[in-house]
């Protein structure tokens, strides 16, 4: 049951971040196309972007998975990989799937710059949130351990 809960939690995290990436990717793509006079986005492109975002998120999770060899890599390198892996996947997908076919080069260049900056900002925010959470948990642990020492092992004075 413990492994099942762990798998469900990992899948929920993956799907959450995939959806965040998907909405951002789709919004940015739609806005850039709109600026260049194209109003619609096909359902096929929307679906392709969803699948690509799911793969991007899996790539990010692999870099930070505790049970992988990547755990031994320098944290700065891991943070760079967290942005680099999905960026490469996104760029390769947009050319293979023809998301910007028939449009000026400035459209895909703008899209890539905006999305890479988005990924970097998300990484910085996640890092900051986890850092803050870790500090709060460490403070609580110190307070708990201090109270346990005063009260004795059974919690009685």
Give the model confidence (pLDDT) of 102-140 as tens digits. Answer: 999 999 999 999 999 999 998 888 878 777 777 788 888
pLDDT of residue 145: 83
pTM: 0.75
pLDDT, residue 124, reads: 86
CA distance 147 to 75: 34
Domain map (residue ranges) of the chain: 2-151
Q: Which residues in the chain show pLDDT less than 50?
A: 157
Count of other CB atoms within 10 angstroms of residue 150: 8
């Amino acid at each position: 049951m413990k492994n099942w809960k762990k798998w469900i939690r990992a899948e929920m995290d993956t799907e959450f971040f995939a959806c965040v990436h998907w909405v951002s990717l789709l919004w940015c793509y739609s806005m850039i196309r709109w600026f260049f006079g194209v109003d619609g986005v096909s359902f096929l492109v929307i679906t392709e972007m969803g699948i690509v975002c799911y793969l991007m998120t899996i790539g990010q999770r692999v870099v930070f998975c505790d049970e992988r060899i990547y755990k031994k890599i320098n944290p700065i390198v891991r943070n760079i990989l967290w942005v680099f892996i999905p960026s490469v996947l996104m760029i390769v997908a947009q050319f293979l799937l023809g998301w910007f076919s028939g449009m000026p080069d400035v459209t895909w260049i703008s899209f890539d710059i905006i999305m890479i900056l988005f990924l970097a900002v998300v990484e910085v925010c996640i890092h900051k949130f986890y850092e803050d959470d870790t500090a709060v948990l460490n403070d609580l642990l110190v307070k708990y351990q201090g109270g346990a020492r005063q009260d004795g092992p059974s919690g009685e004075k």
